[in-house]
């Protein structure tokens, strides 16, 4: 879980890309547009070309339709005049050209509809494909992050934001880019018509739309900053939802009667967030309305002008109709373009978050060793100290040596650093001081693959996969993930075969409640599954069990350890346990207190020394008397 640190400055304050510096910040933020287009191109180039074609058609044809409209009106007027003037009018001859134009206009409108359908069909298909692609990118990246990066609340926020929003944003950006293109083409073709009336009309059109655009751009930035700033609250909401709806927490929530408390907090977060949303929405819409009025005003100015020109005979009736239509549609296209630009600005801000996450530096994988310089030397800690990022030392000056065939037990109070030592040994974290050697070579020099193969670890908080029983074992060795024989063998060693055998579908029984017919196991049974999982690593010669039997009954525990010793004779074993009955047979016992080794020796030696170990042992023994 991420630490509960408050988000640091960069999540509460907009990043440089979202900074308020006017034009440069605004333009700089478009740097992700090209990448979004590239992403769509990689996803499906045919659909991207299809989008471009439909955009072109839907962009050019409206102006053509307006021009045909003018020809129709003027055609009608002149046909009417001719019809009235002629003594013997030929109806068909006068209406045929106009009707042909009406037919062409109908065809054009049909084509525009077809292009728009094509656009929306391709957009919805692309949305699904692109959403999947981006989500896979996010998950693949997650696989490369280190444990400490996961525990960093800032990065976790970035990941949450990326997952929640960014999978839909690239397409939104591309749609807007194409929408912009379409409107720009329409606008270009409208301008060609409008400029014949007057270049001033064009200027009026542009000036009328600008204020709305500027306010939209400003509010998009505000919305994004709000989104970024409130990530921690959103995360808390998601967490509360999980607590209130997941079967693994609902038991306790019910028994402690926490529903009301959690719901209250959930509502309070919403109320707070909603107040900010409302404020922004109201401001955004009111300004949008007021500035939009300017656009309407300019339209009616132009309207009056065109009407006057028509009355004084400078324009035909058909031209008047066309110019009014062109002006109206031009205004719509222009404001749509400007809204698209400010929307793109917003999408870019969200995408900047996605790419910030995707570009998180990962620790280079530079270890290549598959064998140490002193094979058979085993494991050495040399004056190792460690502190978690941002906290004080958790381990100080730890030195130990474990040779193949030896067993080590770690004893100590809660929080003394036992699990942390295992995290260092498994390279989940690096020591802040000192070094760890495996077979004489620095742990960092080992190839990840070789190291993983040599270690089998079961942590206290092992994962209860909601998969089939066999797969729950198979995860211990991905190469044998589906190997039923290996499952059975591992289950025998971990003493899970008995109860698995009694299940109706045996190794194919679905575990957990998320899926239909999923079975739940008892705590001890889950532990046996986890233990068997460790035995899947046949080649592992370092076996680590962190509190492996805490949930097991005494008979099972004794049996488990008898088998454990039998299967680990040539191996190095490390055991963490609070039960002295489990610990006593280890070759070396380390007593850890607040990160220091305070005693070391065998059970007998430590009893003789009459120190902390002896005291704790007596205490536990008395409990059993």
Ligand X SMILES: Nc1ncnc2c1ncn2[C@@H]1O[C@H](COP(=O)(O)OP(=O)(O)OP(=O)(O)O)[C@@H](O)[C@H]1O
Residues that contact ligand X, how many (by CB under 6 A): 14
Region of 257 (left: φ > 0; alpha: ψ -120 to 50; beta: rest) is left
Residue list 415-434, contact with ligand X (CB under 6 A): 415-420
- How many Å from the N-terminal Cα to the C-terminal Cα in the chain? 40
Supply the minimum distance, in Å, between the C-beta of residue 135 and ligand X.
27
Supply the minimum distance, in Å, between the C-beta of residue 389 and ligand X.
7
Q: What is the rounded CA–CA span in Å between residue 491 and residue 504?
A: 17
Q: What is the rounded CA–CA span in Å between residue 391 and residue 369?
A: 32
Q: What is the CA radius of gyration of the chain?
A: 36
Tell me how crowded residue 390 is: count the other CB atoms within 10 A of its CB. 10
Supply the minimum distance, in Å, between the C-beta of residue 436 and ligand X.
16
Supply the minimum distance, in Å, between the C-beta of residue 214 and ligand X.
46
Among 21, 366, 391, 517, the residue binding ligand X under the rule CB under 6 A is 391
Residue list 158-177, contact with ligand X (CB under 6 A): none
Nearer to ligand X, 357 or 429 (CB): 429
Which segment (193-201, 248-256, 304-312, 408-416) binds ligand X by CB under 6 A? 408-416
Supply the minimum distance, in Å, between the C-beta of residue 557 and ligand X.
17
Nearer to ligand X, 188 or 415 (CB): 415
Nearer to ligand X, 323 or 386 (CB): 386
Supply the minimum distance, in Å, between the C-beta of residue 148 and ligand X.
8
Cβ atoms 149, 2 nearer than 8 A = no
Which segment (130-138, 254-262, 409-417, 550-558) binds ligand X by CB under 6 A? 409-417
HSE at residue 62, side-chain half, CA atoms within 13 A, is: 26
Nearer to ligand X, 513 or 578 (CB): 578
Supply the minimum distance, in Å, between the C-beta of residue 519 and ligand X.
28
CA nearest to 157, candidates 238, 262, 49, 102: 238
Supply the minimum distance, in Å, between the C-beta of residue 463 and ligand X.
17
Q: Could you say whether residue 412 binds ligand X (CB under 6 A)?
A: yes
Supply the minimum distance, in Å, between the C-beta of residue 429 and ligand X.
9
Q: Could you say whether residue 59 binds ligand X (CB under 6 A)?
A: no
Which segment (93-101, 358-366, 386-394, 549-557) binds ligand X by CB under 6 A? 386-394
Supply the minimum distance, in Å, between the C-beta of residue 590 and ligand X.
11
Among 4, 88, 366, 414, the residue binding ligand X under the rule CB under 6 A is 414
Nearer to ligand X, 116 or 432 (CB): 432
Is the four-CA dihedral 446, 452, 455, 461 of positive or negative sign? positive
Which residues lie across from 379 on neighbouring strands?
402, 438
- Interface map 346-385 toward ligand X (x if CB under 6 A): ----------------------------------------
- Interface map 454-493 toward ligand X (x if CB under 6 A): ------x---------------------------------
Nearer to ligand X, 4 or 87 (CB): 4
Nearer to ligand X, 567 or 612 (CB): 612
Supply the minimum distance, in Å, between the C-beta of residue 550 and ligand X.
10
Nearer to ligand X, 194 or 590 (CB): 590
299 three-class SS: helix
Among 71, 118, 142, 151, the residue binding ligand X under the rule CB under 6 A is 151
Supply the minimum distance, in Å, between the C-beta of residue 593 and ligand X.
10
Cβ atoms 155, 149 nearer than 8 A = yes
Cβ atoms 408, 436 nearer than 8 A = no
Nearer to ligand X, 271 or 391 (CB): 391
- CB pairs under 8 A, 24+ apart, for 357-364? 357/138, 357/141, 357/155, 357/158, 357/159, 357/161, 357/162, 358/137, 358/138, 358/141, 358/162, 360/141, 360/145, 360/149, 360/155, 360/158, 362/144, 362/145, 362/146, 363/146
Nearer to ligand X, 294 or 428 (CB): 428
Which segment (19-27, 411-419, 447-455, 596-604) binds ligand X by CB under 6 A? 411-419
Nearer to ligand X, 147 or 290 (CB): 147
Q: What is the rounded CA–CA span in Å between residue 531 and residue 473?
A: 9
Which residues lie across from 546 on neighbouring strands?
576
- CB pairs under 8 A, 24+ apart, for 103-111? 104/68, 105/65, 105/68, 105/69, 105/72, 108/61, 108/64, 108/65, 108/68, 109/65, 111/57, 111/61
Which segment (273-281, 296-304, 388-396, 467-475) binds ligand X by CB under 6 A? 388-396
Nearer to ligand X, 470 or 595 (CB): 595
Nearer to ligand X, 5 or 265 (CB): 5
Q: What is the rounded CA–CA span in Å between residue 617 and residue 242?
A: 41
Cβ atoms 468, 544 nearer than 8 A = no
Region of 383 (left: φ > 0; alpha: ψ -120 to 50; beta: rest) is left
Q: What is the rounded CA–CA span in Å between residue 520 and residue 161?
A: 33
Distances in Å between the alpha carbon of 314 and those of 81, 306, 375? Answer: 19, 9, 99
Element of type H or E holding 272: helix 259-311
Structure tokens at 144: 């490369």
Which residues lie across from 411 on neighbouring strands?
591
Nearer to ligand X, 208 or 417 (CB): 417
Supply the minimum distance, in Å, between the C-beta of residue 511 and ligand X.
25
Q: What is the rounded CA–CA span in Å between residue 334 and residue 444?
A: 59
Among 229, 305, 388, 465, the residue binding ligand X under the rule CB under 6 A is 388
Supply the minimum distance, in Å, between the C-beta of residue 154 and ligand X.
14
Which segment (31-39, 158-166, 356-364, 407-415) binds ligand X by CB under 6 A? 407-415
Cβ atoms 409, 590 nearer than 8 A = yes
Q: What are the residues binding ligand X (CB under 6 A)?
A: 3, 151, 388, 391, 394, 412, 414-420, 460
């Amino acid at each position: 879980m991420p630490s509960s640190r408050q988000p640091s400055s960069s999540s509460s304050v907009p990043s440089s890309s979202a900074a308020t510096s006017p034009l440069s910040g605004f333009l700089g933020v478009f740097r992700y547009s090209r990448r979004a287009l590239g992403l769509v191109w990689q996803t499906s180039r045919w659909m991207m070309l299809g989008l471009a074609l439909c955009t072109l058609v839907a962009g050019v044809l409206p102006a053509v339709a307006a021009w045909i409209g003018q020809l129709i009106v003027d055609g009608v007027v002149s046909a009417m005049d001719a019809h009235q003037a002629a003594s013997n009018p030929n109806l068909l001859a006068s209406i045929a050209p106009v009707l042909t134009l009406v037919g062409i206009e109908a065809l054009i409108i049909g084509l525009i509809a077809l292009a728009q359908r094509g656009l929306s069909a391709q957009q919805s298909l692309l949305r699904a494909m692109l959403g999947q692609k981006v989500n896979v990118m996010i998950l693949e990246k997650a696989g490369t992050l280190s444990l400490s990066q996961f525990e960093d609340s800032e990065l976790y926020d970035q990941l949450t934001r990326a997952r929640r929003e960014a999978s839909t944003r690239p397409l939104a950006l591309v749609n807007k880019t194409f929408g912009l293109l379409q409107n720009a083409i329409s606008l270009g073709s409208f301008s060609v018509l409008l400029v014949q009336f007057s270049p001033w009309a064009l200027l009026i059109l542009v000036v009328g739309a600008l204020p709305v655009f500027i306010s939209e751009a400003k509010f998009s930035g505000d919305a994004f900053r709000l989104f970024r700033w409130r990530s921690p609250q959103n995360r808390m909401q998601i967490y509360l939802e999980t607590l209130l709806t997941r079967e693994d927490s609902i038991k306790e929530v019910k028994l402690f009667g926490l529903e009301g408390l959690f719901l209250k907090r959930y509502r309070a977060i919403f109320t707070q967030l909603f107040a900010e949303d409302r404020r922004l929405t109201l401001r955004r819409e009111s300004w949008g309305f007021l500035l939009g009025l300017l656009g309407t005003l300019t339209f009616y100015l132009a309207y009056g002008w065109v009407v006057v020109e028509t009355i004084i005979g400078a324009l035909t009736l058909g031209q008047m109709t066309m110019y009014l239509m062109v002006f109206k549609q031009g205004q719509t296209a222009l404001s749509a373009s400007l809204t698209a630009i400010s929307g793109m600005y917003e999408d870019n801000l969200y995408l900047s978050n996605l790419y910030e996450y995707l570009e998180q530096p990962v620790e280079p994988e530079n270890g290549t060793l598959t064998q140490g310089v002193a094979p058979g030397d085993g494991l050495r800690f040399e004056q190792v100290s460690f502190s978690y990022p941002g906290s004080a030392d958790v381990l100080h000056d730890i030195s130990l040596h474990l040779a193949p065939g030896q067993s080590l037990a770690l004893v100590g109070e809660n929080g003394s650093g036992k699990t942390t030592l295992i995290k260092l040994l498994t390279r989940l974290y690096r020591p802040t001081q000192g070094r760890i050697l495996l077979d004489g070579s620095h742990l960092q020099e080992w190839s990840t693959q070789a190291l993983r193969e040599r270690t089998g670890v079961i942590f206290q908080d092992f994962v209860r996969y909601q998969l089939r029983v066999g797969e729950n074992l198979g995860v211990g060795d991905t190469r044998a993930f589906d190997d039923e024989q290996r499952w059975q063998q591992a289950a025998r060693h971990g003493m899970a075969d008995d109860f698995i055998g009694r299940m109706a579908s045996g190794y194919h029984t679905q575990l957990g409640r998320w899926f239909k017919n999923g079975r739940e196991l008892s705590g001890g049974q889950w532990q046996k599954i986890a233990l068997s999982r460790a035995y899947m690593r046949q080649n592992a010669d370092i076996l680590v069990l962190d509190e492996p039997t805490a949930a097991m009954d005494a008979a099972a525990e004794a049996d488990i350890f008898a088998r454990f010793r039998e299967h680990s004779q040539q191996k190095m074993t490390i055991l963490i346990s609070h039960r002295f009955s489990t610990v006593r047979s280890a070759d070396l016992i380390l007593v850890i207190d607040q990160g220091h080794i305070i005693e070391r020796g065998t059970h007998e030696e430590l009893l003789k020394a009459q120190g902390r170990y002896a005291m704790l042992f007596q205490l536990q023994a008395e409990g059993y008397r």
